[in-house]
Structure 1
């Protein structure tokens, strides 16, 4: 297996270029991030070139987090802000050659929210296509993201089918899916044609993957046997020093 370090959680006390270098030194095969926009793209490009790592993805801005925003694209009345966030993400991802953009839906409910989200995703996919960038949507669990519009993989699949473009994919985060739906093995197998990226963390504490209720040796073997080769995103919260939570990279890298 190959692994991508999510720098939103890992080495997030370092400037992004230094976090990329730390991920390389720790043995990761790729990196991904949340909101890199305060860092000039050339600095990220330099670190990626130096390390030989690929940036797998970034998120659109959440909006006014102090007011409770957690994304904008499914929030009726925020369409202009959502489009601006998408434009910003596409420009940044294009500048650093990132593979994916996670378009964050935000806190909303109902048919009007679904319509707003579909319109925003069509816009995002059209803007991203010339750069060979995939757009991702990710269901979030209702413990960590109460009120978030997108909650389940079934809901996400319905939206993907309705938008019906090649560069809209599912972000399958094992942590969120386990908390909301469970049955990870069957869901990964069924949804694989629609999956653009897979992330993982332990459940229920979102810590390293060698603890908790999910048997990641089994999950990673399932993914390996399906011939999915994209690095899997380690989006977990380290317990103590990051260096003390990395033994899993060696122990889980080779499925048995």
Structure 2
């Protein structure tokens, strides 16, 4: 099994290029991030070239974070801003070899207007991504941590993928979020595997290192291998102490 360090939560005391190097030193096989836009793409690319790691994924900019924004793509009154941020994400990804673009939906009332806007913006994102061989991801996020997030379950994500029928569009299956929302992770992953583009892990319920808590990740990693999953598993957890102190799980899960 190959593991990717999510630099949105890991090695956050370092600049993004230095965090890439730290992830390599820590034994990770790849990296991913949330919002790399303050880092010049050439600086990030230099760090990736030096370490030989690939940056797998980034998120679209969520909007005005200080005002509580958590994504823009499903907000009918901010369609122009959402599309500009999708374009910026694709451009940054193209400059750094990133293959996954997570389009963040945002907080909505769950109504038809929000859903229609989300699907229209995803279709647009797929148009842009297809020109670069990229994959657009949508991630169901639990409503305990993010009340009102437009996409909170895999059934909804599956409906969107089926309706849009775009090969560029896949599900980002975050085990932490889906344990909270629906459980039965092994069966869900097995059923949805053709629709899943990326998988992420963290302990439930505290979102710490994935070696404690409700989910037996050592077993789940073996299950993924039995299913033939050949992608990377993203370590998107919040270290309980420091990133380095909490890395004991990595070699155990890989073995």
TM-score, normalised relative to structure 2? 0.99
Distance in 1 between residues matched to 2:116 and 2:13, nearest whole Å? 38
Distance in 1 between residues matched to 2:23 and 2:151, nearest whole Å? 30
Distance in 2 between residues matched to 1:167 and 1:113, nearest whole Å? 21
- Does residue 218 (structure 1) correspond to residue 214 (structure 2)? The answer is no
| Aligned length, in residue pairs | 254
Distance in 2 between residues matched to 1:221 and 1:40, nearest whole Å? 38
Aligned to 1:93: 93
Cα-Cα RMSD: 0.6
Distance in 2 between residues matched to 1:82 and 1:110, nearest whole Å? 18
Q: Which runs of 4+ in 1 moved over 2 A?
A: none
Alignment of 1:3-14 (within 5 A): 3-14=3-14
Aligned to 1:48: 48
Distance in 1 between residues matched to 2:95 and 2:172, nearest whole Å? 22
Alignment of 1:165-184 (within 5 A): 165-184=166-185
- Does residue 199 (structure 1) correspond to residue 187 (structure 2)? The answer is no
TM-score, normalised relative to structure 1? 0.98
Aligned to 1:140: 141
Q: How many Å apart are 1:239 and its aligned residue?
A: 1.1
Q: How many Å apart are 1:193 and its aligned residue?
A: 0.1
Q: How many Å apart are 1:183 and its aligned residue?
A: 0.3
Distance in 1 between residues matched to 2:204 and 2:232, nearest whole Å? 20
Aligned to 1:26: 26
- Does residue 160 (structure 1) correspond to residue 164 (structure 2)? The answer is no
Gaps of 5+ in 2: none
Gaps of 5+ in 1: none
Distance in 1 between residues matched to 2:183 and 2:100, nearest whole Å? 25
Distance in 1 between residues matched to 2:50 and 2:241, nearest whole Å? 28
Aligned to 1:239: 240
- Does residue 112 (structure 1) correspond to residue 109 (structure 2)? The answer is no
Distance in 2 between residues matched to 1:194 and 1:156, nearest whole Å? 9
SS at match of 1:101: strand
Tell me the alpha carbon deviations over residues 82-111 of structure 1, each in whole angstroms, 9 at most, x when there is no partner: 000000000000000101000000001211
